[in-house]
Structure 1
Amino acid sequence: MLRLVSLQLMATVVAGVIAALIGGAPAMFSAVIGGICCVVPNGLMAFRLYVNSKTPGGANPFSFFIWEFIKIALTLALLGATALLYRDLNWLALMAGFIVALKSYIILLFRQ
């Protein structure tokens, strides 16, 4: 899980650099914020599932579904807060950064 979250973070940085080259600083910040809106909830869920797996009973499906719901709610809350608080938001860059971070796991599938 740590590999996936770190890969998502690296993909977010790459998306931010590409957005900066194409659209300037507001596009870069929008792309990075979009990626962070994906990375933070995934990292939190991965950490909690790791902690739950180390308990004597191990991880159970109920905790997975609860944390999946929390991850989705936190993602929507972060995207909503970004839309409300960031005045120079570039929506295309935000969605591009989010999608790049979300789909970066495909790189791990082709790695081995």
Structure 2
Amino acid sequence: MTPTPPEVCDSGCGLNATLRVISGKWKPLILFFLRDGPKRYGELRRLIRDVSDKVLIQQLKDLEADQVLARTDYKEVPPRVDYALTPLGRGLAEAIIPLCTWGTQNAAEMARIFAKRDALPS
């Protein structure tokens, strides 16, 4: 079966499903950082420096609801919870790696483009 060309992509397109799961500024970074193994909330918070607690918590809940990450509560005092990729999430995290590579390879050019764009009057 031939994949649907992007120009005729409709609601049944795989890209739509992917974008629905990773939509949100921080979700791709969460997936990226979890690819190396489970992380506690504080670790994720340190790795993703500019995210607020409220937004990080919501994005973790969204990813859990989409079954790409699992939250494990160890029922201990003090509380200990960690987040890990599910098999579905691992596949998605691996799919993000080429985007990271592209960003690294084109970082200098994109920085110039963004600076030029940001200098334009609104």
TM-score by length of 1: 0.28
Q: Which structure shows the higher helix fraction? A: 1
TM-score by length of 2: 0.26
